[in-house]
């Protein structure tokens, strides 16, 4: 039997989970590990996975599919429905898949999962296989789930709903920003999700030997002190953009429009406002119009990612990106999706207008680009607090209380101009990039942690 571990990697089927686990899989491959990467049959038909055939990756990674139990026409944006269906359908099929693989010579040594599918570690444990999981969001959000019972005991949240008993600010962790109880990551996702995550976290505590985090000790020092099992192995990207690094390993539900890179080549250094709200965030149509008109007002070129169906009308129904009649857009380029890491590392980018999802946050930090923070839900508000209050590499937008909670075009224009003119924020952004990427070099803390994890997996 080879001493190079064989991992079964299984992400929850959304891009924010798939991409970190895919990137980490290629990191493991470079250390001689083999990967069986499990995705749902539905995702296989929809997702586009790009990878360069370097370091023997085509021979070292094997994509396999399992049914998620839903019909093709079912709404997979209904996350509780997907979670329940996977839980009810996949365990026996995963059990058989592992047995079939382990009948051969290259046996699975470790199961590595993302959140929402802690049951996969139960399957592995029943087969005598060790388990770990990679948390796709910030270590601070992981620490908040880890601390659910403590928050209940302190009278901060209700044990049945997970909702705050009263609105207050509190410090979950030392050496970290203050948190608003309304911004705990489960508060906007409902009671059933809270109970699912409480159960999933307990499974992880029992069966997850390592809780891998796409972060560094410099970015979230307080969160990483909560448990010795929290192991920072980030950032899951490389410092450069050459053809043989993990910046070229990604998955997407949408075709990337690479013409934006040619367009960026024609722009002046640090001149372009990049706007993207990730793969899940949805914007109400009046807010969408305010953003569009703000980009017209800003005297800078812009690159704006607008997914199909990424905004709603006032009744919550999906809209078809209805741009206001007066919108010109002459200074910018609008794309449906883009290779974000390459965009952020382009010298033409001046700032990143972001929803503050953790993957985007890490990518922005590693590019040394200042943020204009516009969080929408879940852990994004905590990430904004890190960006604006802790690292001090960005600014936040403010909603107008007199305009139905909209962020108005004037506010957007003012904050962009303030951000790109702030030399101190630019300097801190570049310094944070340097400090963060130093964790990846040989002898860096994340590099050492990765060696520790792989050696643990080898100890079969």
DSSP letters for 345-379: TSTTEEEEEE---HHHHHHHHTTT--EEE---STT
pLDDT given for residue 212 in this prediction: 96
Q: Which letter does DSSP use for residue 326 in this model?
A: T
**42-51 burial code (b ≥16 CB/10 A, e <16):** bbeeebebeb
Asked if residue 331 lies in contact with residue 302, where contact means CB atoms within 8 angstroms, the answer is yes
Residue 39 exposure: Cα atoms within 13 Å on the Cβ side:
23
The three-point CA angle 450-455-459 to 5° equals 150
Report the C-alpha dihedral over residues 123, 126, 129, 133, rounded to 10 degrees.
40
DSSP H or E segment with residue 454: helix 445-458
Query: How far, in Å, CA of 232 to CA of 235, rounded?
Result: 8
Asked if residue 287 lies in contact with residue 366, where contact means CB atoms within 8 angstroms, the answer is no
Q: Cβ contacts of residue 455 below 8 Å, gap of 6+?
A: none
CATH topology of domain 254-436: Rossmann fold (3.40.50)
Asked if residue 229 lies in contact with residue 211, where contact means CB atoms within 8 angstroms, the answer is yes
Query: How far, in Å, CA of 220 to CA of 215, rounded?
Result: 7
User: SS3 for 205?
Assistant: helix
Number of H helices, E strands in the chain: 16, 20
Both tokens of 388, joined, read: 């604006």
Q: Which letter does DSSP use for residue 280 in this model?
A: T
Same fold, 6-239+439-458 and 254-436: yes
Residue 73 Cα distances to 70, 166, 254, 323, 421, angstroms: 8, 40, 19, 29, 48
Q: In the chain, what are the domain boundaries?
A: 6-239+439-458, 254-436
Query: How far, in Å, CA of 300 to CA of 234, rounded?
Result: 33
pLDDT given for residue 309 in this prediction: 61
Say whether domain 6-239+439-458 belongs to CATH 3.40.630.30: no
Q: How do the pLDDT tens digits run along the chain, 460 residues long? A: 467 899 999 999 888 888 899 999 999 998 889 999 999 888 887 776 654 444 334 456 899 999 999 998 888 888 888 999 999 999 999 999 999 999 988 899 999 999 899 999 999 999 999 999 999 899 999 999 999 999 999 999 999 999 999 999 998 888 888 888 988 988 877 888 888 888 888 888 888 999 999 999 999 999 999 999 999 999 987 533 343 444 445 555 668 899 999 999 999 999 999 999 987 778 899 999 999 999 999 999 999 999 876 555 554 555 556 799 999 999 999 999 999 999 999 999 999 999 999 999 999 999 999 999 999 887 899 999 999 999 999 999 999 887 688 999 999 999 999 999 999 999 999 999 999 999 999 999 999 999 999 999 988 6
Query: How far, in Å, CA of 328 to CA of 297, rounded?
Result: 10
- Cβ atoms within 10 Å, residue 313: 14
Give me the residue label for tokens 């690292």.
391
Phi, psi of 417, deg, nearest 5: -65, -40
Query: How far, in Å, CA of 287 to CA of 293, rounded?
Result: 10
The rounded Cα 323 to chain-centroid distance in angstroms is 28
- Cβ atoms within 10 Å, residue 290: 22
User: SS3 for 52?
Assistant: coil
Query: How far, in Å, CA of 235 to CA of 159, rounded?
Result: 34
pLDDT given for residue 52 in this prediction: 44
The three-point CA angle 207-215-247 to 5° equals 110
Strands 272-276, 349-354: pairing is parallel
Entry pTM:
0.89
């Amino acid at each position: 039997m080879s001493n190079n571990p064989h991992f079964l990697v299984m992400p929850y089927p959304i891009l924010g989970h798939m991409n970190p686990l895919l990137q980490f899989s290629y990191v493991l491959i470079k250390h001689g590990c083999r990967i069986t990467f499990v995705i749902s049959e539905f995702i296989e038909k929809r997702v586009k996975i790009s990878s360069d055939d370097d370091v023997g990756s085509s021979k070292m990674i094997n994509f396999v599919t399992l049914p998620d139990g839903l019909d093709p026409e079912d709404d997979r944006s209904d996350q509780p429905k997907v979670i329940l269906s996977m839980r009810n359908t996949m365990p026996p099929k995963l059990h058989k898949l592992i047995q079939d693989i382990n009948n051969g010579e290259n046996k699975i040594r470790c199961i590595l999962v993302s959140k929402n599918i802690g049951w996969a570690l139960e399957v592995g444990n029943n087969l005598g296989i060790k388990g770990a999981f990679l948390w796709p969001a910030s270590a601070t959000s992981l620490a908040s789930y880890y601390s659910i019972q403590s928050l209940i005991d302190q009278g901060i949240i209700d044990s049945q709903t997970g909702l705050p008993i009263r609105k207050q600010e509190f410090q979950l962790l030392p050496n970290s920003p203050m948190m608003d109880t309304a911004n705990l990551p489960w508060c906007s996702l409902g009671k059933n999700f809270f109970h699912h995550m409480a159960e999933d976290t307990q499974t992880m505590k029992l069966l997850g030997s390592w809780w891998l985090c796409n972060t560094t000790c410099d970015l979230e020092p307080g969160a990483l002190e909560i448990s010795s099992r929290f192991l920072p192995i980030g950032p899951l990207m490389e410092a450069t953009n050459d053809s043989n690094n993990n910046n070229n390993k990604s998955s997407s539900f949408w075709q990337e429009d690479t013409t934006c890179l040619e367009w960026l080549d024609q722009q002046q250094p640090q001149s372009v406002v990049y706007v993207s709200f990730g793969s899940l965030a949805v914007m109400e149509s009046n807010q969408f119009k305010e953003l569009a008109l703000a980009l017209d007002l800003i005297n800078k070129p812009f690159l704006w990612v607008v997914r199909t169906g990424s905004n709603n009308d006032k009744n919550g129904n999906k809209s078809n990106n209805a741009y206001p009649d007066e919108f010109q857009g002459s200074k910018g380029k609008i794309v449906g999706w883009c290779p974000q890491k390459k965009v952020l590392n382009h010298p033409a980018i001046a700032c990143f207008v972001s929803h503050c999802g953790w993957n985007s946050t890490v990518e922005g930090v590693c590019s040394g680009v200042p943020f204009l923070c516009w969080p929408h839900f879940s852990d994004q508000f905590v990430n904004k607090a890190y960006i604006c209050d802790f690292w001090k590499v960005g600014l936040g937008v403010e909603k107008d209380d007199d305009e139905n909670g909209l962020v108005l075009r004037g506010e957007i224009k003012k904050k962009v101009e303030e951000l790109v003119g702030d030399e101190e924020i630019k300097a801190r952004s570049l310094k944070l990039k340097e400090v963060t990427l130093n964790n990846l070099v040989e002898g860096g803390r994340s590099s050492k942690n990765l060696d520790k994890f792989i050696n643990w997996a080898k100890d079969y």
